């Protein structure tokens, strides 16, 4: 089955530093990837839609200059948390939808990574 690999699985960084999280689709291509954030005991919140070869689309209230997204290829999207602060500590999850299957494009399942636990001290 389709696999999405997310790296690192956890990271601890100091306040003010930047952290990059990678999301790779291992056995399929994805023009679109999605980034979510999840705080403890809460549901996933969509942060942005990452589009291969173009700018990401951010959800309302998400700072695009703080959460930099790059989708340089059909199998890789990165999220960089810049100048991280303790309130950015969260579980970040990426997901991707397979390219192709045109008839089901908007309804094919999303494949999720296993998440990255970010702790900012």
Total residues belonging to the chain = 121
Q: How far is the CB of 81 from other proteins (least distance, A)?
A: 18
Cβ atoms within 10 Å, residue 113:
24
Task: Report, in Å, the least distance between residue 115 CB and other proteins.
Answer: 5
- In degrees and rounded to multiples of 5, residue 74 shows phi and psi of -75, 0
Specify the residue, 84 or 93, whose C-beta has the smaller distance to other proteins.
Answer: 93
Closer residue to other proteins in complex, CB, 66/117: 117
Write down the least CB distance from residue 114 to other proteins, Å: 5
Q: Strands 10-13 and 116-120, how do they pair?
A: parallel
Q: Which is nearer to other proteins, 53 or 107 (CB)?
A: 107
Task: Report the residue number, 58 or 82, with the smaller CB distance to other proteins.
Answer: 58
* Least spacing, CB of residue 28 vs other proteins, in Å: 13
Which residues, in sequence order, are bridge partners of residue 93? 36
Q: Please report, for residues 1, 14, 77, 98, the alpha-carbon distance to residue 28 in angstroms, rounded to integers and kept in the order given.
A: 9, 35, 13, 6
Could you tell me what percentage of the chain is helix, strand and coil, using 3-state DSSP and rounding each to the nearest 5?
5, 50, 45
Q: Can you give the binding site for other proteins, defined by CB under 8 A?
A: 4, 6, 32, 34, 36, 43-46, 49, 91, 93-95, 97, 105-107, 109-115, 117
């Amino acid at each position: 089955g389709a696999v999405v690999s997310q790296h690192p699985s956890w990271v601890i960084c100091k306040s003010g530093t930047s952290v990059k999280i990678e999301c790779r689709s291992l056995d399929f291509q994805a023009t679109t990837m999605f980034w979510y954030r999840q705080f403890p005991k809460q549901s996933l919140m969509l942060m942005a839609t990452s589009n291969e070869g173009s700018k990401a689309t951010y959800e309302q209230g998400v700072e695009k200059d703080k959460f930099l997204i790059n989708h340089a290829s059909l199998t890789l999207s990165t999220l960089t948390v810049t100048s991280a602060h303790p309130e950015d500590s969260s579980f970040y999850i990426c997901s991707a939808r397979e390219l192709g299957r045109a008839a089901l494009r908007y309804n094919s399942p999303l494949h999720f990574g296993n998440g990255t636990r970010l702790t900012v001290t």
